[in-house]
Amino acid sequence: MFLLILSGEAVFILPFVLARVFRPTVLEVFNLTNLELGTCFSVYGFVAMASYLLGGPIADRFPPRKLIAMALFATALGGLVLAANPSYFVLKVLYGYWGFTTIFLFWAPMIKATRVWGGNTSQGKAFGFLDGGRGLVGASFGALGVFIFSLFIIGAVETASLANRTEAFNYIVWVTSGIIVVIGIIVWFFLKSNSIKEEEIQIQSISTHQIKTVLKIPSIWLLMVIILCAYVGYKITDVFSLYAKEVMLYNEVKSAEIGTLLLFIRPIIGILIGFIADRSKTTLWLIISFILSILGSLLFASGIITPTSTTLFLVSILITVTGVYAVRSLYFATMQEGHIPLVLTGTAVGLISIIGYTPDIFAGPLMGVLLDNSPGELGHQHVFIMLASFSLIGLLASVLFYRLQHKKSANHN
């Protein structure tokens, strides 16, 4: 499980975490505008969509450890290109390449390996550990990057030359790529289940039959909707630091502290909800989590939070992100209850993800339009109405999922 958590975040460090932590530096080093960097992410998103579908069946044909290790090696190879300070065109090609290596070879095998680790009784714990642990690993890589950057900067960051900042950033890319390769080697040799042989969770050949079989399972369609709604919520957590600055009137340091607070809340929620869900029904906790998300988003949308109501602001954040992070930790943990065959997990994850992760393409621009068209608090209220709307749809889908599984259990008894 430790290796799954480590590799589960390491593979996304180069394309996402470095750009998130060092955004101003990335824009300067590669001479990019925010729109151009956003376009790189869009290229990644479009390639990822195709990779979800094609990579799912591959995960059912080959051992997860080999696919995950190959994904880590291939992603680290892209680091060599990034360290060479490529042009904007090459950067777009690189992000398309990463959309392939991090999804086609990696995503479904990671989910399948996590499901195998969870067995019949610990699915909530397995996926809670995975998501919570990934949050901690991401924060650790970010802190390591900041440390390396400070080592190679001459004098104060504000007065350092562009050449010096570029050199320091390149060292971060080199070290990160090296760590990813090491993790890949360890995964290749040690990511194995003690209870299930690799051959038991592999199909002999890839065919359209397995796709047709998976699409006939009702819970697949409901999970597509649940994950889409949950992922919109996860994307919207990006605006909390901006809300702190524009509505609560915090300075940039205090606003950044709100963003940092979320990094530490995510692993706590993930691990806690995993343990709780395994003691009851995972689908029941999906319902509760969506209700929390709706409640929190309505508090923000109501306009009752003012610059003087700090406690209400923090409580509202806690309610909202508890719901959002809990759903994110649990949605794949419901596959066991959804009667999705273990051997076809990869195919199922691929099909679910095509719809479930479309917010990668539309959520960012949609939030941007809402915030830009209504500057200040009103724009943020519109964003949280959007969150409440998607959470309501997710709640309805979760209730249907719960009733479907309850009915099946009754029929079996």
Residue 361 and residue 355: Cα distance in Å, rounded? 11
Token code pair at residue 369 = 């339009």
Query: Per-residue confidence of the chain (413 residues) as pLDDT tens digits?
Result: 788 888 888 898 898 878 877 777 888 889 988 778 878 888 888 898 889 888 877 877 788 888 999 999 999 999 999 999 999 999 999 999 999 999 988 888 888 888 887 877 778 888 888 888 887 887 788 778 878 888 887 776 666 788 888 888 899 999 999 999 999 999 998 877 655 554 554 555 556 777 788 888 888 999 999 999 999 998 888 788 888 888 898 876 677 677 777 877 888 898 899 888 888 888 899 999 999 999 999 999 998 998 889 999 999 999 999 999 999 989 888 888 888 888 788 888 888 988 998 887 788 788 888 888 888 889 999 999 999 999 999 999 999 999 987 776 656 54
Report phi then psi at 233, rounded to 5. Answer: -60, -45
Is residue 110 within 8 A of residue 64, CB to CB? The reply is yes
Is residue 173 within 8 A of residue 141, CB to CB? The reply is no
Structural domain tally of the chain?
Answer: 2
17 falls within a domain: yes
Question: Are 224 and 188 members of one domain?
Answer: no
Residue 407 and residue 198: Cα distance in Å, rounded? 33
Question: Are 102 and 247 members of one domain?
Answer: no
Residue 222 and residue 66: Cα distance in Å, rounded? 31
Question: Are 216 and 308 members of one domain?
Answer: yes
Question: Are 228 and 372 members of one domain?
Answer: yes
Question: Are 370 and 245 members of one domain?
Answer: yes
- Domain hosting 402: range is 207-408
Please report, for the domain that includes residue 244, its CATH number: 1.20.1250.20
Residue 374 and residue 246: Cα distance in Å, rounded? 12
Token code pair at residue 99 = 């959309």
Residue 348 and residue 253: Cα distance in Å, rounded? 43
